[in-house]
Amino acid sequence: MGRELSVVGGGVVGLACALAATDAGWSVTVYDAGPSTRAADVAGGMLGCLGEGHPGEDRLLDVSSQSASLWPDFLARLGDPAVRTATDSVLIGASSTDLAYLDDQVAFVRDRLPAAALTRSTASELRRAEPALGRGLVGGYLAEGEGAVDNRLLIEALTEALREGGAQIVEAVVDDPTALPGEHVLIAAGLGSAALAAVAGAPVPVHGEKGEILRLRRTRWSVPPPSHVIRGRRHGRPVYLVPRADGVVVGATQYEAQGPDDRAPQAVGVADLLTDAIAVMPGLSSYELVEVAAGIRPCSADGLPVVQRIDDRVLVATGHGRNGIALAPWTASRAMGLLA
C-alpha cells in the first residue's frame, strides 16, 4: 500500500507540496475551497530573492536564495514554457533618495550572497537593457537570473501535473483537518491555516496583509510589454511591473488587512500604482486597464514561512507573506523532508 496524504488548500503552497508528494509516490488528495480567497490568483508572480532582500531579513534571504536555486527544476517538472514570463529584473530608483535605498538593499544582499548577480547601472545603461523605462529615473541595478512566472498559468500547470500524476483535487471547505483520511494531513490553506491549525490543537498565528494589484493589457497602438521585471522605487514607494504575454501586472500596495473579507481595492492604492507605473514606463498610459484586484497575503509573526509539524500526523505550511510563489519549491522540499 502507498502512503496517503491529505492536503488542505489548493493555492501555490498546497499544490507544490502535493506535487512533490505525488512524485515521491504518495497517494494525494487536495481539498480546496476555491479561488475566491486565493492569494496566488492575485499575485504578481515575481521570483524575488535579490530584489526582495531587506536589511534585517537575513534568514528570509537565505530561504529565498535556496528556493531560487530550486526553480529551474521546478519549472522543468511543470514542462510549460509559458509559465515563466521573465528571466531578469531591473531595480530602478526615481530619485537619488530612492537609489540610496536600493544601494542599502543591495549592500545587505551582497553581504549575505557575495556572488549575487547585481550590477550597478546608470539609467541609460538600464534603458539599453529595457527600452520601456521612462526618462527622469536616476539609476539602479540589473539583477540577472531573477525573473517571474505567470501566477495563474502556474496554478493551472500544477493542477494539470497533479491530475496527470494521479492526485485527486476535491472542491470542499474543510472545518476539521484531523477528520481527513490518510497517514498524514498537511494544512496549507494560506490565511485559513490559523483556524485549521487551532482545530488540530496548535496555534499558528497568521495575519493578513492586503495588497492592491492591477492588470494592464497592451493595445495595437502601445509599445510592447517590458522583457524584464521592473522593480521601481518612487517617492519612497515600491512599484513593480511584471511582464505577461499580453501586458503587465502592476503591483502592489501592502498594509494590514481589516479582516479576512477586506478584499475590495481602495482608490488611493490604485491611484498610486497607476501614477508610479506610468512614471517608470510611460508607454503604459495607452494600455487597457483590464483588472483591479486586492488580495491578502498570509503572513507569519516573524516574516518567515512556517513549515512544521503540529503533531505526529498533522503538518502545516503557511505564512509565506509577500513571497509564497517564490518560496513554493523550497516549501515543497521542506515539507517532503518532514514527511520523510
Ligand X SMILES: Cc1cc2nc3c(=O)[nH]c(=O)nc-3n(C[C@H](O)[C@H](O)[C@H](O)COP(=O)(O)OP(=O)(O)OC[C@H]3O[C@@H](n4cnc5c(N)ncnc54)[C@H](O)[C@@H]3O)c2cc1C
Which residues make up the interface to ligand X (CB under 6 A)? 8-14, 31-34, 37-40, 42-46, 48, 173-174, 188-190, 192, 196, 211, 213, 251-252, 295, 297-298, 318, 320-326
Nearer to ligand X, 32 or 130 (CB): 32
Under a CB-based contact definition with an 8 Å cutoff, are residues 168 and 28 in contact? yes
Report the C-alpha gap between 197 and 212 in whole angstroms: 28
- Distance of closest approach, residue 262 Cβ to ligand X, in angstroms: 12
Under a CB-based contact definition with an 8 Å cutoff, are residues 211 and 254 in contact? yes
- Distance of closest approach, residue 294 Cβ to ligand X, in angstroms: 7
Nearer to ligand X, 93 or 324 (CB): 324
- Distance of closest approach, residue 143 Cβ to ligand X, in angstroms: 14
Nearer to ligand X, 123 or 280 (CB): 280
Under a CB-based contact definition with an 8 Å cutoff, are residues 12 and 152 in contact? no
Q: Which three cell numbers stand for residue 92?
A: 530602478
- Distance of closest approach, residue 122 Cβ to ligand X, in angstroms: 27
- Distance of closest approach, residue 269 Cβ to ligand X, in angstroms: 10
Nearer to ligand X, 173 or 179 (CB): 173
Under a CB-based contact definition with an 8 Å cutoff, are residues 104 and 261 in contact? no
E strand or H helix at 151: helix 151-164
Q: Which three cell numbers stand for residue 71?
A: 526553480
Nearer to ligand X, 100 or 170 (CB): 170
User: Checking DSSP bridges between strand 247-251 and strand 229-234, what pairing results, if any?
Assistant: unpaired
Which among 222, 180, 244 has a CA at the least distance from the CA of 46?
244
Q: Which three cell numbers stand for residue 255?
A: 498594509
